[in-house]
Amino acid sequence: MKIPNHIAIILDGNGRWAKSKGRPRSYGHVVGCDNLEKMCNVICDMGVKYLTVYAFSTENWKRSAEEVGVLMNLFRRYLKRCERNAKKRQMRVKIIGDPTGMAPDIQDMIAELEGMSAGYDHMFFQIALNYGSRDEMRRAAAKMTADARDGKLRPEDMSEEVFASYLDTAGIPDPDLLIRTSGEQRLSNFLLWQLAYTEFYFTETPWPAFDEKELMKAIEAYNNRDRRFGDAKS
Ligand code: IPE
Ligand code: IPE
Ligand code: MG
């Protein structure tokens, strides 16, 4: 079986999973967070080189202050624990999204985690926090216009590669497989540029219940796809 080089996951359904168990949404986030740690290890051990997960969108600030608070505290705990894991698995961690929208102590934790793992290259783990694809492109456009103004970028040099180098995912190959859990079949503003030729896999299973068996089902489905990139045959 062919293992995808880059898997992207929209971690969805924590709230519905908790509700189905008669528990508050926050319980779903706690279990979802633990599952991320577990599945990141499973995916790493499988030999996947790149993993990118959508953990908090630019639109998720619209949730109740209470739920946002719970999520932020979970990120604090997760980022701290992630350091140990990064070291153990020689994993480079990068946060994509706009960190300036996060609390100052979380920004410090992000800088520390990225700094301590910068030299590792066994696996590349991207966590999308305060991420929105439109916001990423807006920020990229602002940087490009500033560089053009400063004479560092000429319109005639603007290739797709140059454009991509201004995105948060610069240097990271596009995902081969996108998984969205919990039944929704939309992108919700995730990696609009990068997913141009990615295979999509949707499952009804909510994120807290998404385990190794579910992952294998997704990879099997990926193996049965006839991948094309605009050419006539795969
Ligand atoms: C995913 O689960 C976690 C985040 C978006 C932060 P949800 O919180 O979206 O759970 P549902 O979709 O409401 O069940
Ligand atoms: C997308 O999930 C964002 C994350 C998983 C972080 P949402 O649950 O926020 O998306 P919508 O609102 O259902 O589109
Ligand atoms: Mg959701």
Write down the domain spans for the chain.
6-132+175-221
Q: What is the mean pLDDT of residues 137-152?
A: 98
Q: How far is the CA of 5 from the centre of ligand 1 (A)?
A: 26
What does the pLDDT look like over 57-79, one tens digit per residue?
Answer: 999 999 999 999 999 999 999 99
* Residues within 5 A (CB) of ion ligand 3: 12
Q: What is the mean pLDDT of residues 12-30?
A: 98
Q: Which fold has domain 6-132+175-221?
A: Undecaprenyl pyrophosphate synthetase (3.40.1180)
Residue 100 has pLDDT above 70, yes or no: yes
Question: pLDDT at position 233, please?
Answer: 77
Residue 234 has pLDDT above 80, yes or no: no
What does the pLDDT look like over 167-208, one tens digit per residue?
Answer: 999 999 999 999 999 999 999 999 999 999 999 999 999 999
**Catalytic residue status for 189:** no
Closest ligand relative to 36 C-alpha: 1
How far is the first Cα of the chain from the last one, in angstroms, to the nearest whole number? 17
Question: pLDDT at position 109, please?
Answer: 98
SS3 17: helix
SS3 58: coil
Specify the ligand 2 atom closest to the Cα of 11: 5
Residue 55 has pLDDT above 90, yes or no: yes
pLDDT confidence bin for 1, thresholds 50/70/90: very high
Question: pLDDT at position 147, please?
Answer: 98
pLDDT confidence bin for 130, thresholds 50/70/90: very high
Question: pLDDT at position 114, please?
Answer: 98
Q: Is the CB of 14 under 6 A from ligand 1?
A: yes
Task: Note the pTM of the prediction, 2 decimals.
Answer: 0.98
Residue 107 has pLDDT above 70, yes or no: yes
Specify the ligand 2 atom closest to the Cα of 59: 9
| From 5, 34, 41, 60, the catalytic residue | 60
Identify the CA nearest to 193 among candidates 158, 168, 218: 168
SS3 145: helix
Specify the ligand 2 atom closest to the Cα of 55: 6
Distance CA 149, CA 145 (A): 6
User: Which DSSP letter does residue 167 get?
Assistant: S
Closest ligand relative to 60 C-alpha: 2
What phi and psi, each to the nearest 5 degrees, are found at residue 127? Answer: -115, 120
**Catalytic residue status for 121:** no
Provide the H-helix boundaries in 132-185.
Answer: 133-149, 160-165
Average pLDDT, the chain: 98
What are the angstrom distances between the C-alpha of 124 and each of 46, 142, 156, 189?
13, 27, 32, 22
What are the angstrom distances between the C-alpha of 199 and each of 9, 114, 128, 206?
12, 29, 19, 20
**Residue type for 180, please?**
R
Question: What percentage of the chain carries pLDDT values higher than 70?
Answer: 100
Which residues have CB under 6 Å of ligand 2?
Answer: 10-12, 54-57, 60, 184, 186, 188
